[in-house]
């Protein structure tokens, strides 16, 4: 059976869920033999034992949505009996993550527990109180996950600094308080507590995206002062909010990620209005530095551009 033939047989019977279990597909009239043939033909991807996704859909997913699909596959394959933690809990809560990776993270009574055995799973020994575990709804399923404060605290303890800040910023933006995260850090394991407290101090509740979190971390890592986040400035054509600013130097730092404008109005109109306001701000003496995803991978180039902007600002006021 070739790929096209397999797609024609599977697609009409595929359930509404993106990731489907063997049992669900069997009930839809897709037997085990057909699933095996479809995987071999490249029409179907088996994410783990007992969980599948259409190959075309899998290929179209960005990395972070693939990570979420792997969690759904774990739920389908295990019945969702685990307590999900770290990046997996963050995804289930709808928090932003960065570079979370393909593994599904679950909390167990001891590290390496066989209760969540699988090549796609990593278990973590976490001492969880009753208040540390909550029920979250994902795709109609009730899942047990670490609470948002505990998730942010565990990520701050155990993840690389930048990845932890992304989760923590998102937790604050969602309504979690800094003190709730601090309490979870202080009351949790001493392992990684020093880093966790450093992550906590680096968080910014006004940060609205992964790109903004990473930009701010990079700026401070390069030795520059932390800029003001989400500053609202007035122009002759109304208010304009910028991602970051050094107010005394009148320098604005903008992270330009794809999709930044799509939630509010058609892109051409939004861009035109934004550019007009930016031109007015430049006439007021503001200097703009624009960073993109690729810039974040070139820290020394970012350093050079920021230093150049600072030098220009100081020459202007000398």
Domain boundary among 176, 202, 228: 202
- Shared domain check, 293 and 171: no
DSSP 111: T
Are 49 and 57 a contacting pair, CB within 8 Å? no
Domain boundary among 146, 171, 202: 202
- Shared domain check, 224 and 103: no
- Shared domain check, 268 and 313: yes
Domain boundary among 202, 234, 249: 202
- Shared domain check, 93 and 24: no
Both tokens of 82, joined, read 């685990």
Tell me the pLDDT of the chain (318 aa) as tens digits: 788 888 888 989 999 889 999 999 999 999 999 999 999 999 999 999 889 999 999 999 998 899 999 999 999 888 888 999 999 999 999 999 999 889 999 998 654 444 556 788 999 999 898 899 999 999 888 999 999 999 999 999 999 999 999 999 999 999 999 999 999 999 988 999 999 999 999 999 999 899 999 999 999 999 999 999 999 988 887 888 899 999 999 999 999 875 444 444 446 777 777 788 887 888 888 999 999 999 999 999 999 999 999 999 998 876
Number of domains in the chain: 3
- Shared domain check, 270 and 147: no
C-alpha R_g of the chain: 23
Both tokens of 17, joined, read 């869920």
Q: Which residues of 14-48 are buried (b: 16+ CB within 10 A; e: fewer)?
A: beeebbbbbebbeeeebeeebbebbeebebbbebb
Q: Please give the residue range of the domain that contains residue 47.
A: 3-60
- Shared domain check, 229 and 189: no
- Shared domain check, 139 and 96: yes
Give the per-residue pLDDT at 213.
96
- Shared domain check, 286 and 224: yes
In this prediction the pTM is 0.87
- Shared domain check, 311 and 234: yes
Question: How many C-beta atoms surround the C-beta of residue 71 within 10 A?
Answer: 25
Output the CA–CA distances (angstroms, integers) from residue 263 to 41, 60, 63, 289, 307, in the order listed.
38, 21, 21, 23, 33
Give the per-residue pLDDT at 266.
47
Domain CATH number, residue 19: 1.10.10
């Amino acid at each position: 059976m070739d790929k096209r033939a397999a797609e024609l047989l599977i697609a009409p019977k595929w359930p509404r869920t993106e990731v489907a279990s063997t049992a669900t597909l069997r009930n839809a009239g897709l037997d085990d033999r057909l699933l095996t043939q479809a995987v071999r033909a490249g029409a179907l991807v088996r994410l783990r034992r007992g969980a599948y996704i259409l190959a075309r859909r899998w290929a179209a997913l960005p990395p972070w949505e693939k990570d979420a699909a792997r969690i759904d596959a774990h739920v389908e394959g295990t019945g969702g009996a685990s307590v999900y933690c770290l990046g997996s809990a963050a995804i289930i809560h709808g928090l932003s993550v960065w570079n979370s990776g393909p593994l599904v993270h679950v909390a167990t009574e001891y590290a390496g527990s066989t209760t969540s055995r699988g090549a796609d799973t990593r278990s973590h020994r976490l001492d969880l109180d009753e208040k540390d575990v909550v029920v979250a709804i994902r795709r109609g399923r009730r899942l047990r996950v670490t609470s948002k404060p505990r998730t942010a605290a565990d990520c701050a303890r155990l993840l690389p600094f930048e990845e932890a800040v992304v989760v923590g910023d998102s937790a604050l933006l969602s309504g979690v308080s800094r003190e709730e995260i601090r309490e979870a850090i202080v009351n949790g394991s001493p392992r990684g507590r020093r880093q966790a407290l450093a992550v906590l101090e680096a968080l910014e509740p006004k940060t609205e995206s992964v790109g903004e979190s990473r930009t701010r971390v990079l700026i401070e890592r390069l030795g520059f002062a932390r800029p003001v986040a989400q500053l609202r400035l007035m122009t002759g054509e109304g208010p304009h909010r910028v991602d970051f600013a050094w107010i005394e130097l009148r320098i604005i730092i903008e992270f330009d990620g794809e999709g930044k404008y799509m939630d509010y109005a058609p892109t051409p109109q939004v861009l035109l209005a934004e550019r007009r306001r930016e031109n007015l701000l430049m006439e007021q003496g503001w200097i703009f530095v624009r960073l993109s995803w690729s810039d974040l991978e070139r820290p020394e180039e970012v350093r050079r551009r920021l230093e150049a902007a600072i030098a220009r600002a100081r020459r202007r006021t000398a």
